[in-house]
A and B are shown apart, each in its own frame.
Chain A
């Protein structure tokens, strides 16, 4: 018999297909432009309502300015909650002077208040985003990426396994070896939720804000409860995508920044495998 000495060795595995990598980065750039130009558009009327139309006296979310001690005060009201958001929402500084605007200049595209140009950016990249997303979704469904990599397997869905993963996740213990070759069930849930729920919701609620598309597809209005509800859902969903982005960034850094970034650029991802090396020949 040969004796074996076990030690850990790093191996590069193919993590992401070329199409996943390409669509990932086109998606990332599109979402950044859409977010910043979207906040520009929001600023033209920084209030949100429910229903078909705007009841100007009862927005559920509003940013505005009031005269305060020593200048203007920015106020954000969400339902019954009233917050002082001076410097960020309602009132912020632009070239050293206080200006009344929803989101500050550094978060809008273009930075100055210019709705017409913000719309140009938004609608151009909306097409880039939607076509890119359609290519990704079609290839994920038809090419097996969805079934192979994203849908949880039966063993991953066992309550005991899910609880274990949550416990590991809370202690920031990342899977190693064979387990690291696939997404864990929390990752799968997050990616499925973003790619197949939140992002399509952005497209549909965006379409519902178009009077022309509302005429062609009146069911959109029924689906979201009216144009102003669609505008609100568009904003809330965008906020959830921003939240996902921050969690995504934290997890990328904590679970190996370079390894993750490389895998999304070159496709190769390093995992640690227990290698068996023969210590000597059997006699």
Chain B
């Protein structure tokens, strides 16, 4: 076979392969099909809640803390409001707690530091597959939410964040059962020092049953809700709106 003809054949073969892959892509990402597959998330959530909603995640000795804890997502929020807070050392940072609560709150960082706190050395698991061990100190969410008093209708807590990522504000949702877990804290310290900007200064969530994308950084407001389909893209979080499971425990 002469070279030009072989080149043509090779090209045709590559085109067919390319078309086949594009077809496969179309089927594998078909919205209805993916929605059906997402049914497994319900099973994951139910089973995990049944066997270990209250179990504590493993805590590690101080020697296991990594010196190179990776920061993902926003590492320096471009938002002007946030940058103004950085410039003033977060002196005027206020955490709003509202929605389906008995007593809406606006707490300063000093007031949050005065709440019952917990320190834990835990493993952070990124959805990409890597893990890093770090120490976190923060206010117990149970105490914080208890201060505001959840109304009976409240099912989820929405965490609104200061950072804009890829054109949208970051946000997350937790279920009430996760909020009262003893290891669920709003951390203001990491590895014994103040939380740094790449890791979510001045406040970030730690909910140790879950993957990294649930651990919202730069938290400004907690809203207790009975539904979240009107918030953001309606799926219960920034990454959830982009196809990730809201459960995030696997």
Contact = CB atoms under 8 A, between A and B. Distances in A.
A121 B245 CA distance: 12
Contacts of A109: 24, 28
A111 B210 contact: no
User: Of B40, B43, B70, B249, which is in contact with the most chain A CB atoms at under 10 Å from its CB?
Assistant: B40
Contacts of A117: 28-29, 34, 243
A211 interface: yes
B50 to A, nearest CB: 9
Given A116-B244, A121-B37, A213-B48, A110 B29 contact: yes
B8 interface: no
B153 interface: no
Given A45-B130, A112-B25, A117-B34, 19 more contacts: A52-B64, A53-B133, A54-B132, A95-B21, A106-B21, A110-B28, A111-B24, A116-B239, A119-B127, A120-B37, A123-B250, A124-B38, A209-B250, A211-B125, A212-B250, A213-B51, A214-B58, A215-B58, A231-B129
Contacts of B21: 94-95, 105-106, 111
A218 B150 CA distance: 32
Contact of B29 (A49, A105, A114): A114
Interface string B230-250: 000000000100111100011
A123 B123 contact: no
Contacts of A114: 29, 243
A212 B123 contact: no
B42 to A, nearest CB: 11
A211 B123 contact: yes
Contacts of B66: 53, 55
B68 A211 contact: no
Given A53-B66, A124-B39, A227-B125, A211 B211 contact: yes
A54 B56 CA distance: 22
Contacts of B70: 54, 56
A54 B58 contact: no
4 closest residue pairs by CB, A with B: A216-B52, A212-B249, A116-B243, A110-B28
A75 interface: no
Given A52-B133, A53-B132, A213 B123 contact: no
B115 interface: no
B143 interface: no
B217 interface: no
Nearest to A114: B29
Interface in B102-148: 123, 125-133
Contacts of B38: 120, 124
Contacts of B37: 120-121, 123-124
A210 interface: yes
A159 B48 CA distance: 47
A205 interface: no
A49 B133 CA distance: 14
Interface residues of B, number: 50
B57 interface: yes
Given A52-B64, A56-B70, A227-B123, A111 B25 contact: yes
Given A52-B64, A115-B128, A95 B244 contact: no
Contact of B25 (A49, A110, A115, A212): A110
Interface string A32-64: 000000000110110101001111110000000
A46 B221 CA distance: 36
B55 interface: yes
23 contacts: A44-B128, A52-B64, A53-B123, A53-B133, A56-B70, A56-B130, A95-B18, A106-B21, A110-B28, A111-B22, A115-B127, A117-B34, A119-B127, A120-B37, A120-B243, A127-B40, A211-B57, A212-B209, A212-B249, A213-B52, A214-B57, A217-B51, A227-B125
Contacts of A150: none
Contacts of B34: 117, 120
Interface in A168-225: 209-218, 221
A96 interface: yes
Contacts of A213: 48, 51-52, 249-250
Interface in B9-61: 14, 17-18, 21-22, 24-25, 28-29, 34, 37-41, 43-44, 48, 51-52, 55-58, 60
Contacts of A54: 70, 130-132
A30 interface: no
A86 interface: no
A228 interface: yes
A93 B243 CA distance: 26
B208 interface: yes
A87 B211 CA distance: 32
Contacts of B41: 123
A227 B131 contact: yes
User: Of A106, A116, A209, which is in contact with the most chain B CB atoms at under 10 Å from its CB?
Assistant: A116
